[in-house]
Structure 1
Amino acid sequence: MSLDLPPVAPAVTAELVQGLTPRLRKRLDAGVTKLAGRPSVRDGDTVRIAVDGDTHLELHAPGGTVTSTDAIRCGCLLAPDCLHRAAAASAAPIADSEPDSDSDSEPASQSMPDAAPAPVGQDASDPPRTPAASASKTISTDAQPTSPAEPETPTPDQRAAAQAMYDAAAAVLEAGTDGAGAVLQAELLRAAHTARISGLPRIAASAVSVVTQLRAARGAEPAYRLSELTAALRDVLGTAHRLPGSTGPELASLRGTARQPYTPDGSLRLYGLFSEPVLTATGYAGAVTWTADAEGRLYTVSDVVPGGSGRAVGAADRAIRIGDTALTHRELSRAGLAVSGATVSPTGRLGAGAGVRAVRASGAAWRADPLADLWALPVAEQVARALTGGDGLLFLDVTLTGTVREAAGDCLLADCDGLTLRLAAAHDHPALPYRENLRLLSDAPGTRLRVVARLDPSPVPRALLLAADHPCDPGVHVDLGLDRLQHADLPAPAMVPAGSPPTPDEAPLHLLRRRVHQAASAGRRVLAFPGDSATDSRRLGRYGFACAGDLLDELHSAAADRSRDVFGRLVPADVNRFAHAWLAAAHYTEEVDRSLCAAAWGADPALPPSP
């Protein structure tokens, strides 16, 4: 969308679309496209759009966000129930329903890289282990026995909200990206608003992510990824399906939390690791700097707010917002930080409250203590940690061996303790230098590097490269999403064995995964065409994936299930059956991918990582 519009709250968009007549709803997508080509002017908190020579549309966004329907005004004769107001709301970015106005709390649903997990042995959501809590376990034998408390169950409002969310998401899946226009998006946003006010922030955030991905797909935006749309849609349908029957801890997990509280953590001595740009399809941009203490616990300093690629590129040179320090993100990634009165979120993000003090301190090289210990942990244990809810980061020593062609482009091949590893770009946006740096490193086979990467679950060992040693100076590192390597930075070519490493014989799970992605993209109809899935099912069975073959058959059968009434007319398709079949297939592929990933790395995802 070319218009520079302020973010609009999901409830505002849903209400404006709901107020349209059926005739205007049919014209809404065309109205959004037409509005994109009209000139606009921003004056402070107001954006004015010239609909035509005599009609103007205004969006008032005090504080930067449109939070009510009255804030969108149109001068046409059909206002306030006109198409223009709904089209403007549908074209604008989706606002965060919980703006992060407090420096000591953050939206739990905000899309940014996860940070360090809670300390071993204690979940982030557990209450503090106080002496009073321990003393409560010593109860007098004279006390009357008490009945065990009934496990908490969802409220009627939450059950209704989950059902409404499931219905809205199933309708989106039925239509696919091409058919999920502004009307279906508004229904999903309405369900997200209902879920949020019912105390279900997790599913509400996932629904907003689905709408953002749909808009990116329909607008052919470079940030759109079909895999991300599929994952968000799977999370919405899966959470809505499980929530009505959940209790206790499972219910708490499915509900989620609207904001992550910051808890005191005393004084910290941190060492910079690396910085990475953040640019998400949900409209956030900025930078995150990763640091570690002497025990290897990871902490992040984040500056991520609504924005585009320009902000992602420039945020690294902004001063961090902790205490009075003047360090930028780029500088902190190579220096250190001494923090007093620190506050930390459950994901390891450092708070910037009024009581926090921070000053610059000396840093440490990756190959020096205490950071070198991060690379000492066996790779299999690091992967197990990433697969069991860790931060996803891998600290690896590799030797570059060549390149391999993938559907998304070339990626580096590297040897990691005898394991052939694929290192791919962490982001494909042309404003970020990830892809260029990987292409340059491919000209230096035989180079040994110490790298930081993020695990990318795949049947073959694969990770997204974030930072690496400088090829000619192991004493410094390069943030591959921010720094640009030059040919002069490369060492002389080393001799490497001729030939390419063998390609492993991968299990044909792509036969099911491809159908899952096709349905998310093109809707039910793409799987409803006449055809026979028996060949693919038999092939899956030969590899030991009989369940995958059954799921594939059911997915095709549910898509093609169209019965007729007594007059021979086609009745509406069973959307619920198709959504259930798709959800089962999507969940299955996710779990099998996780297991195959663990096997490829020699890890055991069922075992917790070592302390």
Structure 2
Amino acid sequence: MSPDLPPDHRDPGLPPVAPSVTAALVGALSPRLRKRLDAGITKLAARPVVREGDIVRIAVDDDTDLELHAPGGTVTSADAIRCGCLLAPDCLHRAAAASAAPVAEDTPVADTAVPAEVREEAEVETASPDQRAAARAVFDAASAVLEAGTDGAGAVLQAELLRAAHTARLAGLPRASAAAVSVVTGVRAARSADPAYRLADLAGAVRDVLGVAHRLPRATGPDLVGLRGTARQPYRPDGSLRLYGLFSEPVLTATGYAGAVTWTADADGRLHTVSDVAPGGPSRATGAADRAVRIGDTALTHRELSRAGLAVSGATVSPTGRLGAGAGVRAVRASGASWRGEPLDRLWAVPVAEQVTRALDGGHDLLFLDVTLTGAVRETTGDCLLADCAGVPLRLVTAHDDPALPFRDNLRLLSAARGSRLRVIARLVPGPLPRALLLAAEHPTDPTARVDLGLDRLQRADLPASTGPLPGAVAPAVDEAPLHLLRRRVHQAVSGGRRVLAFPGGGSGDGARLRRLGLGTAGDLLDELHAAAADRSRDAFGRLLPADMDRFARAWLAAAVYTDAVERGLCAGAWGASSEAIPALT
């Protein structure tokens, strides 16, 4: 087993650009230039890029350069994008560069959430007029993206959604803002054929942004506070901590961020993370594991901490378990612990069904499993490792498809170790069949060692001597719940827009079929979705009027929320989890 070494060069990609900058530059274009924006982005993407410190330079042509000034790694103002062409600053190039770059986190604003003690004394808190207007703007902009689908949601529609996201943040709605940015990121990944793009993930992002924007204007009390979100995660003092390393995983996002996150546990089994994530590409994701962790004066790298321990004094911890690195935090190296020894062994002692219930109820989604490898199959999305987990037939899949990360190669090698009993750490994938992303595992031949599958690279010599040739079977057909008839239309709308559901006869009879199979609500939702997509009124002269985007977005949102809730219920049932994990349909 050998660690992945980072390449000798650094990816010189474009720096992240704040949403407000992209919205401002696109909004300033003339109608004629807006029509040419998508073509301009494609042309600019083919030009050479050079990074010199905080400046990224693009050669627009042999005589003209475009510069992005990113102090701290992020472009935060329109003036920081400068072009040398004759039409600057009103040229197409500046808006194209901003639209082609990853979306950065917008400038933080003060958190407007009312403190708990004030909320208790107040009567019923409601959203302010500015917040209701901002939520409406987000809903309308996201509806326009849904109506067009990824194929039609070009840079102009993306900029409108980024503008709405910035407005929401200024109005004190960071959750709606972040959800809108996630949709833009997903649309860009789809349009650029990013291998990490997943239609289901984008559908979930669209569902989240529409759901938050739809509910927020009428929300009150604690519901309103949750829908607003918080601009920053508050770090709270947590005294002294004795932490034991669990594993490290690489981070490589479609938004242009990369790095590593190391997971640790304390003596009570609480999970804590240490992260090093910043703008960058695959080389940073593979190299961050060998950087020193940013806590106190310790020289431990992420790779070392995943096997060792840490003693922290003056610790600060966010609600999600992330450790702060303030000036008052002190940390020194300590001894680690085996996965099969105390205190880490207690993580695997929790029944699997209870772990799944926790994940579906909003807790962390890591699963600590004892599995027996039974082989592998080849699915349409790649190789899948089959395992038995306490009688549950489980499918373990790669956590990231980027070829710079060894996830896929490691899973392929493990598939040859049939019969091996291993402890693994995986991330739950909600769905009607037991499935999880494989993150770390015990070494196939050395139970005292473990492998971070996104950072360490297994060799053929690491496998048991009795293994045969690598399998290449095709996954057998699996009986799917009829809910897929609704889910398929929900996903089709995200990809192709309203028009793909408006074709005469499209999906004809699926609603009736769902009702015959006992899913009456699903059938009604599907019929309404098709009716909303096909609803086009005409004026007095017989000309088609614009489609009712609001009706279509609400019909799609109802179908998406229902599908997600039922699928989570099916997931709980597949793992034998408690019915309490099934979310309510709200």
Give TM-score scaled by structure 2 length: 0.92
User: In 1, Cα distance between the equivalents of 2:562 and 2:80?
Assistant: 45
Assess if the C-alpha contact under 8 Å between 1:291 and 1:333 holds in 2: yes
SS at match of 1:606: helix
1:85 is matched with: 94
Show CA shifts across 1:380-405 (max 9, x none): 11111111111111111111112234
Show CA shifts across 1:522-543 (max 9, x none): 1111111111534322332233
1:392 is matched with: 365
1:244 is matched with: 217
User: In 1, Cα distance between the equivalents of 2:309 and 2:379?
Assistant: 38
Show CA shifts across 1:389-430 (max 9, x none): 111111111111122343312211111111111111111111
Instruction: Report runs of 4+ in structure 1 exceeding 6 Å deviation.
Output: 499-503
2:64 is equivalent to residue 55 of structure 1 = yes
Show CA shifts across 1:432-484 (max 9, x none): 11111111111111111111111110101111111111111111111111111
User: In 2, Cα distance between the equivalents of 1:189 and 1:292?
Assistant: 38
Question: 1:554 and 1:493, CA in 2 relative to 1: closer, same or farther beyond 3 A?
Answer: farther
User: In 2, Cα distance between the equivalents of 1:154 and 1:217?
Assistant: 34
User: In 2, Cα distance between the equivalents of 1:314 and 1:574?
Assistant: 49
2:343 is matched with: 370
User: In 2, Cα distance between the equivalents of 1:80 and 1:433?
Assistant: 44
- Structure 2: which amino acid aligns with 1:76? C
Q: CA deviation at 1:606?
A: 1.7
2:573 is matched with: 599
2:160 is matched with: 187
- Structure 2: which amino acid aligns with 1:299? H
Q: Percent identity?
A: 76
2:182 is equivalent to residue 209 of structure 1 = yes
Show CA shifts across 1:495-546 (max 9, x none): 9xxx999976331211111111111111111111111534322332233212
1:407 is matched with: 380
Question: 1:49 and 1:305, CA in 2 relative to 1: closer, same or farther beyond 3 A?
Answer: closer
From 533, 539, 543, the counterpart of 2:517: 543
From 545, 565, 569, the counterpart of 2:539: 565
SS at match of 1:338: strand
User: In 2, Cα distance between the equivalents of 1:302 and 1:148?
Assistant: 39
User: In 1, Cα distance between the equivalents of 2:59 and 2:464?
Assistant: 57
User: In 2, Cα distance between the equivalents of 1:19 and 1:493?
Assistant: 66
2:326 is equivalent to residue 356 of structure 1 = no
From 436, 440, 452, the counterpart of 1:467: 440
Assess if the C-alpha contact under 8 Å between 1:446 and 1:493 holds in 2: no
2:586 is equivalent to residue 577 of structure 1 = no
- Structure 1: which amino acid aligns with 2:100? A
Larger mean CA deviation between 338-347 and 215-224 belongs to 215-224
Show CA shifts across 1:169-218 (max 9, x none): 00000111111111111101100110000000111111111111111111
1:95 is matched with: 104
Question: 1:390 and 1:50, CA in 2 relative to 1: closer, same or farther beyond 3 A?
Answer: same
Assess if the C-alpha contact under 8 Å between 1:217 and 1:224 holds in 2: yes
Assess if the C-alpha contact under 8 Å between 1:3 and 1:36 holds in 2: no
SS at match of 1:449: strand
2:310 is equivalent to residue 310 of structure 1 = no
SS at match of 1:57: strand
Larger mean CA deviation between 347-356 and 538-547 belongs to 538-547
Q: CA deviation at 1:54?
A: 4.0
From 30, 36, 58, the counterpart of 1:27: 36
User: In 2, Cα distance between the equivalents of 1:356 and 1:457?
Assistant: 37
User: In 2, Cα distance between the equivalents of 1:439 and 1:515?
Assistant: 33
Show CA shifts across 1:13-63 (max 9, x none): 111111111111111111111222233443333333333344333322233
Assess if the C-alpha contact under 8 Å between 2:569 and 2:581 holds in 1: no
SS at match of 2:102: coil
User: In 1, Cα distance between the equivalents of 2:364 and 2:204?
Assistant: 18
SS at match of 1:261: coil
From 29, 40, 53, the counterpart of 1:44: 53
From 248, 252, 263, the counterpart of 1:275: 248
- Structure 2: which amino acid aligns with 1:415? D
SS at match of 1:475: coil
Unaligned runs of 5+ in 1: 101-106, 109-124, 128-132, 137-146
Give TM-score scaled by structure 1 length: 0.88
Q: CA deviation at 1:5?
A: 2.4
Unaligned runs of 5+ in 2: 1-10
Q: How does 1:14-163 map to 2 (within 5 A)?
A: 14-98=23-107, 149-163=122-136
